[in-house]
Amino acid sequence: MGKIIANTGESHAKIGADVLRKFGMDPIIVNAAEAHHYDVPIDNPYAWIVTAADAMSASRPGARFNTKELFIEKMGELEKLINEIPGIDKVHIMQAGREIMVYVNPKEISDLELEKLLKTIGEKIDSQLDYPGIIRITGIRETKIIEFLR
């Protein structure tokens, strides 16, 4: 709540708590807002829940301004790493890098080679980059034939 009020030099936790107090909210709720950055002691379980939720929200890739540039840089590194491999036409990185779609040139990469290529991509990512959790890599090899009838 405190983030929506103009910059007054106070923390958003303190400003939010002041707004809640002004509107007569229960002291437990006020403490949950004010204590989530440990500005005041946490005195109820709801404050711990708010603190945990704030930490989870802050850890999302790109959630904080100072991490946005780092996030963009990491996605660029991931895309560059994959595009270095011969036979790859294009790469789509989704879900903050947790899902990768690799389109290959069907004239250069066979179905069997595509399976090996995906393993190679996984090994390169594993050895050269830091990543959280599981990454899903999908290989797409398609041939389009179009015929027109009159």
Tell me the domain boundaries of the chain. 2-58, 65-141
Q: Note the pLDDT of residue 130.
A: 79
Please give the Cα distance from 26 to 37 (Å, whole number). Answer: 19
Identify the CATH class of 65-141. Answer: alpha beta
Q: Are 95 and 135 in contact (CB under 8 A)?
A: no
pLDDT digits (tens, 9 = 90+) for 92-128: 999 888 899 999 999 999 999 999 999 999 999 999 9
Is the pTM of the predicted complex or chain greater than 0.85?
Answer: no
pLDDT digits (tens, 9 = 90+) for 52-106: 998 888 777 666 655 677 778 888 999 999 999 999 999 999 988 889 999 999 9
Give CA angle at 47 (133, 59), nearest 5°.
25
The three-class DSSP label of residue 102 is strand
Residues 6+ apart with CB under 8 A from 96: 60, 61, 62, 71, 75
Please give the Cα distance from 82 to 91 (Å, whole number). Answer: 7
The arithmetic mean of pLDDT across residues 21-42, rounded, is 92
Please give the Cα distance from 105 to 37 (Å, whole number). Answer: 51
